[in-house]
């Protein structure tokens, strides 16, 4: 676990000691945690309808009770949806949880005001510089 523990002296004028050590640990890197959702816009609903129509439901559900029939129907629908509805991966959300749409709008507004105020200040400095350069050129003549 831990080996070669050494103290290297006090931290400034503190009574605490700084230490150096070797830590032996295994690092596990988790795989990709992508989530997938059905992409209903790209689904082949006509293909699903055709396959559902091709089942002979009377023969399929004839020897089953209500619960078994329901489970069979759900399984068929799940298989068809897996087959005919492609999956899309969720975008990884990089913004913090607290950064709501309203808060983001306010941050952008603040940023734009800062930029516009800096542009105004830069324009004022530029104009003042031009004026002083023009005055200097007249004084030299």
Q: Where in the chain are the domains?
A: 36-89, 95-141
Q: Which comes out higher in pLDDT, residue 11 or 41? A: 41
pLDDT for 93 beyond 90: no
Distance CA 141, CA 136 (A): 9
pLDDT for 133 beyond 80: no
Q: Which comes out higher in pLDDT, residue 65 or 123? A: 65
Q: Which residues contact 33 (CB under 8 A, 6 or more apart)?
A: none
Tell me phi and psi for residue 112, to 5 degrees. -65, -40
Task: Give the position of tokens 């293909």.
Answer: 47
**Per-residue pLDDT reduced to its tens digit, 26-73:** 877 666 667 788 999 999 999 999 999 998 888 878 888 889 889 989
Angle, in degrees to the nearest 10, between helices 45-54 and 66-84: 140
Please list the residues that pair with 20 across neighbouring strands. 6
């Amino acid at each position: 676990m831990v080996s070669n523990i050494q103290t290297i002296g006090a931290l400034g004028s503190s009574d605490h000691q700084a230490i150096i050590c070797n830590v032996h640990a295994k690092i596990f890197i988790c795989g990709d945690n992508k989530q997938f959702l059905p992409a209903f816009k790209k689904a082949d609903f006509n293909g699903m309808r055709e396959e559902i129509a091709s089942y002979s439901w009377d023969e399929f559900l004839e020897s089953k009770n209500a619960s078994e029939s329901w489970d069979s129907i759900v399984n068929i629908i799940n298989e068809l949806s897996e087959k005919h509805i492609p999956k899309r991966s969720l975008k990884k959300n990089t913004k913090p949880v607290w950064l709501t749409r309203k808060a983001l709008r306010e941050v952008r507004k603040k940023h734009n005001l800062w930029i516009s105020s800096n542009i105004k200040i830069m324009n004022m400095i530029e104009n003042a510089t031009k004026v002083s350069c023009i005055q200097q050129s007249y004084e030299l003549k």
